[in-house]
Amino acid sequence: MGFLLPVPSALLMLATWDYFHLRSFESFISLLFIGSFYGFVFMGIPLVIYTFLMEFIVNKFIKSSLLVVFISCVLGGISGGIIFNLNYETGQTFFLLGILSGLMAGIILRLCYLKSKIDNQTLQGTC
């Protein structure tokens, strides 16, 4: 599931960058496919790290859902903040979008984790 999240994140980041720098909808359409591709390439390593940490460490060992979502926001901010090295002004926007993406991903992943945990307990009780 975590590997599907870069598409909306990359498109959101691309649309924001496009609006603040180019202010043109036509350029957004022309950059849509290129931006999606580079979104996967550029965010691939942070995504793999984020997914590993969230799926195999954070969700399993942390009981508080609020803390899990907070950690997801921090990891998202770090992933988005990588762009600070390229451009400080644009990096600020991506840092905030990374936090927002981490918030959305953390909530979705935590809800899926809790649902699967409840489903597993229900199945074990009926067998």
If one counts the domains in the chain, the total is: 1
Is 122:114 a contact under the CB 8 Å cutoff? Answer: no
The domain containing residue 90 runs over which residues?
Answer: 2-115
Residue 23 belongs to a domain: yes
Reported as a single tens digit per residue, the pLDDT across 20-35 is 666 666 666 666 666 6
In this prediction, residue 68 carries a pLDDT of 93
pTM of this prediction? 0.64
Residue 93 belongs to a domain: yes
Contacts of residue 10, defined as CB under 8 A and 6 or more positions apart, other chains included, come to: 35, 36, 38, 39, 40, 43
Give percent above pLDDT 70 in the chain.
54
Give percent above pLDDT 90 in the chain.
10
Is 72:112 a contact under the CB 8 Å cutoff? Answer: no
**Who wins on pLDDT, 68 or 91?**
68
How do the residues of the chain divide into helix, strand and coil, expressed in percent and rounded to 5? 90, 0, 10
pLDDT greater than 90 at residue 71:
yes
